[in-house]
Amino acid sequence: MADPASSSAPPKGATGVLVLADGTAIWGKGFGAVGSSVGEVCFNTAMTGYQEVLTDPSYAAQIVTFTFPHIGNVGANAEDVESAVEGAVGCVVREEVTKSSSFRSTQELSDWMASLGKIGLSGVDTRALTRRIRLQGAPNAVIAHAPDGNFDIPALVARAREWPGLEGMDLALRVSREKHEGWEGGPWQLGAGYGRASNDARPHVVAIDYGSKDNIFRNLVKAGARVTVVPAKTSLEEILALQPDGVFLSNGPGDPAATGEYAVPVIRAILERDIPLFGICLGHQMLALAAGARTVKMHQGHRGANHPVKRKDGGVVEITSMNHGFAVDGASLPAGVEETHVSLFDGSNCGIAISGKKAFGVQYHPEASPGPQDSFYLFEKFVGMLG
């Protein structure tokens, strides 16, 4: 049987395509950068925050399908960028990106994406693509944009098939800082922008950067901490030399088991020294691995800003923001590790605490302000442990 994409001609006016590893070609109008990129196709259900999503390093090597149709309507600006390093390689949207309408916009989405090398594809039935991911799992694919509409589909199919996928892939080193950095940014205010962190005698948090979002550090500052950010592969000796009152484990992309090969020994040694620990997303998974649990690849992952999570102590439900394709296997939690939060969508693990230690983690993103303040207490809880 012929490859279903090898003979498919683009419809008139098509300047972009998403080619899945099974040979399916999904046509549309390209925008943003010209060229092609390979990655895993996922979907995000958030109605706002497309710029933050596209610059979140946790989305490295991923192509984001936005289920909300009106992407680009508020343009882009420098204040809403989560990280200067690699994020999503591209996005797929339903409606054509129109001229922005927002007093905060300084650049059109297409131009901003082009400046970062990110490829967009509009005019796609994102509802059908999302249903496909839900039924069949997240596929590997190539997203391509060519203004002349000429594409070598067989070559794109081959590239999608040859890409190994996220399972077993360590991406943290690709998106981590290369040197220590004293964090200086404070909370944002309308009309004033971002404040500056205080350099007073606050508790000192050393944050290990596995692919972090800047707003995490701003929230640690808001909660009362002084923050130093260090690369993913920083040694225990280097961390201890900074005299931390607590250690933060950041979010990040890729397979946690792969990153854990060098991260887990360091985290275990920190636990042995009873230094307070707090992990978010990949950092939560790193903490769980260090405690003896396992992580698993999810069928479709959790990505959006409306995920309900239940605190097992008291039954409070938080509306959370999530972005993860791997999860801690709740059934693998050993004795001495308490499951503190669970997803109300599928019952998957969303939080742990280690008995006898000042150490906890959550799978979701409290810094993304879902709710909008449902989860800020986690930063206050951590900083409160550092006295």
Catalytic machinery residues: 281, 365, 367
Rounded Cα–Cα distance for residues 115 and 387 (Å): 44
Phi-psi category of residue 308: left, alpha or beta, with phi > 0 → left and psi -120 to 50 → alpha: beta
Burial of 150 (0-12, 13-18, 19+ CB in 10 A): exposed
Strands in the chain per DSSP E: 16-20, 25-32, 35-44, 62-66, 90-92, 119-122, 140-145, 181-182, 185-189, 193-196, 204-209, 226-231, 246-249, 277-280, 295-311, 317-328, 337-343, 349-354, 359-362
Cis before 372? omega within 30: yes
Which pair of structure tokens corresponds to residue 34? 């010209």
Burial of 311 (0-12, 13-18, 19+ CB in 10 A): middle
3-class secondary structure, 19: strand
3-class secondary structure, 341: strand
Quick one: DSSP state of residue 270? Answer: H
Quick one: DSSP state of residue 327? Answer: E
Rounded Cα–Cα distance for residues 91 and 141 (Å): 12
- Which positions ≥6 away from 19 have C-beta within 8 Å? 5, 25, 26, 141, 142, 143, 144, 153, 156, 157, 160
Decide: 323 and 365 in contact? Cβ < 8 Å: yes
